[in-house]
Amino acid sequence: MSILGHRVLRKEDSRFLRGEGRYVENLPLDGAVAVTFVRSLLAHARITGIDTTAAQALPNVQILTAADMELGPFGPPPFPGLDPGMGRPLLAVDRVRFVGDIIAVVVSDDRAVGVDAAELVAVDYDPLPAVVDPHEAAKDEVLLFPEAGTNVAARSGSPEHDEKLFDGCDVVVSGTLVSQRMAPCPLEPRSAAAAVGPDGRITAWLSTQTPHQDRMVIAGTFGLDPAQVRVVAPDVGGGFGAKMLNVEEVLLVWLARRLGRPVRWTETRSESMVALPHGRAERLDFTIGGTREGKVLAYRLAALQDAGAYPVLGAFLPNLTALMASGVYAIPRIEFEGRSVVTNTTPISAFRGAGRPEASQTIERALDLLAAELGMDPAEIRRRNFIAKDAFPHTTASHAAYDSGDYEGALDLVLRSVGYDELRDEQRRRREQGDTTQLGIGISTYVEITNGVDETEFGEVEITPDGGAIVRTGSFSHGQGHETTFAMIAAERLGLPVEKVTVHKGDTDEIAKGTGTYGSKSTQIGGAAAGLAADDVVEQAKRLVADYLEASPTDIVLDPALGRMHVAGDPSTAISWADLASRASDDGRLAELKAEREFKSAPSFPFGAHVAVVEVDTETCRVELRRLVAVDDAGTLINPLIAEGQVHGGVATGVAQALYEHVVYDDDGNPLTGTFVGYAFPSAADLPSWEAVEMETPTPLNALGAKGIGESGTIGATPAVHNAVVDALAPFGVRNVDLPANGENVWRALQEAKA
């Protein structure tokens, strides 16, 4: 019986449960000095002087500034359309552009002394007007990069309007969805260390999702052959899209080279809240039109993306929003225009969903708004517009090529699971009674894209001398459980118990290549590559067994239940992996039991349907999430236990956006949510239990049938909860509540509706 599809407990748990996690901060590094960054306290200013006298007077302290820096700016990623002139100086040169920009670096023997010294560095600022609101930034009155002449960092879609877009529509409605700025908040703040060997070779230990890509960027930055750089990502305490190579890690390598000593740095949380990139921060103005029967004919979106002070991945997000604009609906005509602007705020990058939640949040609100206008049930309008189950593969008007799906099936399942009709009855009763605790029911049916840019991943399988196996993967795991899932995939192919398979990752010296983990792509490409490599090892093993049994390789079969190979029809003379490995070791032929593969795939499109049930107190405006039922279909599940865990965490983040979290700046660009005290990261007391319902529609894109599951819960949950809050307030004439739909925003919506 195959182990795939079973709820196998995680192999990696033990070290975390015992407090033996190998996070960067926990690694010993002899002789390392501590690095502390002096960060800008102003959002936009000229630096007119830096006085380090008092700081330098502390014992064993060294301070470096832009005057010491020979490297040019850290450029934006090479995405089409990003303005390359908006690079970020590694140390601020003359000007700071957000609270958190790095002005100087303190190197000290003692970490606490380093913090003392950083506080003694006196920076003279000449304040400049700050621009925080992307709408203001788009006016180009205050420029972050005067030499660029504009704050617009990137454009997407087309500014051309088809005047006939809404022709034939009986009903046309418009609205605005602001997908508010969020802080990714991995529980482990970033940590990095770097050392240079006697041969000049660099080793960087990074809390990152992308060790191999980081190695290439480090090599490129310092003009080195990649072979001269080793990146090690040990255990990483969550990433959520935000942990990829940034200026801090580059500075650590620069310092290690310059000082000739190992250096290390661990971010404080308050530092992380301004320095680790944020996510979302996209405003979408939408117009949707359809027939009286609820058939959507046309959809127009204008996205304004706040890229933060320096455009990185965030500036590119509207492209993903554009691609996924159509959602699960067959919309004949779609128009998209996107602009990304720089503002005096923390840069925006990827955060769990990255561009796709924004698409889903918008189309799902738009559908509900259209349904409200038509007096139609939100479930019904969705049914009338789904891409049909038999229409796959299907290319949308927004140019996404969906692989497989059963959107109506997901909706049916979620409505049945939640007891939709009974809930509507209860809602009706409360409305008729004028209950001060109103019930809101919100639906979202969503589709998202995983492995979004057709990536390739590397996998290697090697039989060890004791007859076990090592899987080496270029994919990375910072909580996703690859050490279990990928072991299961290889174990199943090899016919080994999962305990005998060990997964290695994250060290560029050991793993030949890799892309890392983001965009929910690990299993479908990394897992698939490991599976193919295991298949190759089986074929190679059959040749070896054939030699030993003096048979033809084509006659050798693997008994996957017992992990033995024998001539077909003659199981009496079988060779187990342990016997084979032992014999091959003795004969110097063990290397024949090793194979590497790369697997490339087109994107896959997980989908699902969520229903949220909220209660809103119409007197206090308190919002309480009562239930969230989630159907998430990510194709075939390798380990349903781990997949469910991904859904739970994803849903919690989606709900956090719907009800709680929001990174806020004042008009001068001062962060008002710069710690975990001010930022509304929900605890267990703020959330209910989740009702996750499995559904599996395999993708034809890989042999596993697997799509990505890491972000779907987030993408599905926010609009369901958002729609539920608006639905609760419908009797008061409320058609929109701004995100997060917390008490304050509910109160505002009720006030507006009364006005």
Partner 1 sequence: MTRIALTVNGSRCDADVEPRQLLAYLLRDQLGLKGTNVGCDTTSCGACTVLLDGESVKSCTVFAVQADGCEVTTVEGISQGRELHPVQQAFHELHALQCGYCTPGFVMATISLLKENPNPSEEEIRLGLEGNLCRCTGYHNIVRAVQAAARAGA
Between CA 275 and CA 271 the distance in angstroms is 6
- Burial class of residue 560 (count of CB atoms within 10 Å of its CB; 0-12, 13-18, 19+): middle
Q: What residues between 214 and 243 interact with partner 1 by CB under 8 A?
A: 235-238, 240
State the minimum distance, in angstroms, from the CB of residue 645 to partner 1.
Answer: 5
Q: Contact letters (x/-) for partner 1, 584-623, by CB under 8 A? A: ----------------------------------------
Q: Is 755 in the site for partner 1 (CB under 8 A)?
A: no
**Six-digit token pair at 174?**
């418009």
CB of 661 to partner 1, least distance (A): 11
Peptide bond into 393 cis (omega under 30): yes
In three-state secondary structure terms, 507 is strand
95 contributes a contact to partner 1 by CB under 8 A = no
- CA gap 644, 695 in Å, rounded: 11
Binding piece for partner 1, criterion CB under 8 A, among 274-282, 418-426, 505-513, 641-649? 641-649
The distance of closest approach from Cβ of residue 566 to partner 1 in the complex, given in angstroms and rounded to an integer, is 37
The HSE-up count of residue 492 (CA atoms within 13 Å, CB side) is 22
Query: For 403-442, b where at least 16 C-beta lie within 10 A, e where not — what string?
Result: bbbbbbbbbbbbbebbebeebeeebeebeeeeeeebbbbb
Question: Which parts of 26-85 interact with partner 1 (CB under 8 A)?
Answer: 26
Provide the phi-psi class of 408: left if phi over 0, else alpha when psi is between -120 and 50, else beta.
Answer: alpha
DSSP state of 104: E
Closest C-alpha among 265, 153, 276, 273 to residue 209: 276
Q: Which is nearer to partner 1, 110 or 140 (CB)?
A: 110
Start-to-end CA distance of the chain, whole Å, equals: 65
Does 337 help bind partner 1 (rule: CB under 8 A)? no
What's the token pair of residue 166?
């809404």
x/- mask, partner 1, residues 463-492, rule CB under 8 A, reads ---------------xxxx-----------
568 forms part of the interface with partner 1 (CB under 8 A): no
Nearest distance in Å: CB 480, partner 1 = 7
693 scored as a contact of partner 1 (CB under 8 A): no
Which residue in the set 20, 126, 666, 667 belongs to the binding site for partner 1 (CB under 8 A)?
20
CB atoms within 10 A of CB 618: 17
689 binds partner 1 (CB under 8 A): yes
Tokens of 473: 């993967």
Q: In which region does residue 325 sit, left (phi positive, over 0), alpha (psi from -120 to 50) or beta (all else)?
A: alpha
- Asked if 675 touches partner 1 (CB under 8 A), the answer is yes
Token readout for 710 is 């890491």
Q: Is position 249 an interface residue for partner 1 (rule: CB under 8 A)?
A: no
The values of phi and psi at residue 69, to 5°, are: -95, 125
Does residue number 690 form part of the binding site for partner 1 (CB under 8 A)? yes
Question: Cβ atoms within 10 A of the Cβ of 539, count?
Answer: 12
The whole-angstrom separation of Cα 698 and Cα 694 is 13
651 near partner 1, judged by CB under 8 A: yes
Segment interacting with partner 1 (CB under 8 A) among 53-61, 504-512, 677-685, 732-740: 677-685
For partner 1 (CB under 8 A), the number of binding residues is 54
Region 149-188 residues binding partner 1, contact defined as CB under 8 A:
185-188
Q: Coil, strand, or helix at residue 409?
A: helix
Distance of closest approach, residue 641 Cβ to partner 1, in angstroms? 5
Site for partner 1 in 257-296 (CB under 8 A): 268-270
The interface mask with partner 1, positions 514-553, x = CB under 8 A, is ----------------------------------------
Contact with partner 1 (CB under 8 A) among 71, 148, 546, 641 = 641
- Distance in angstroms (rounded) separating the CA atoms of residues 696 and 709: 11
- Of the two residues 23 and 548, which places its CB atom closer to partner 1 in the complex? 23
Contact 523, 708 (CB under 8 A): yes
* Shortest Å, Cβ 176 to partner 1: 29
Q: How far is the CB of 681 from partner 1 (least distance, A)?
A: 6
**Counting contacts by CB under 8 A, is residue 684 touching partner 1?**
yes
Q: How far apart are CA 316 and CA 739, in angstroms?
A: 22
Asked whether 626 and 611 are in contact (CB, 8 A), the reply is no
CB 436 within 8 A of CB 618: yes
Identify the sign of the CA torsion 589, 593, 594, 599. positive
Query: Of the listed pieces 55-63, 287-295, 391-399, 670-678, which binds partner 1 according to CB under 8 A?
Result: 670-678
Nearest residue (CB) to partner 1, 270 versus 437: 270
Site string for partner 1, 383-422 (x = CB under 8 A): ----------------------------------------
- Which chain residues interact with partner 1 by CB under 8 A? 9-10, 12-21, 23, 25-26, 112, 185-189, 235-238, 240, 268-270, 478-481, 641-642, 644-645, 648-653, 675-677, 681, 683-685, 687, 689-690, 713
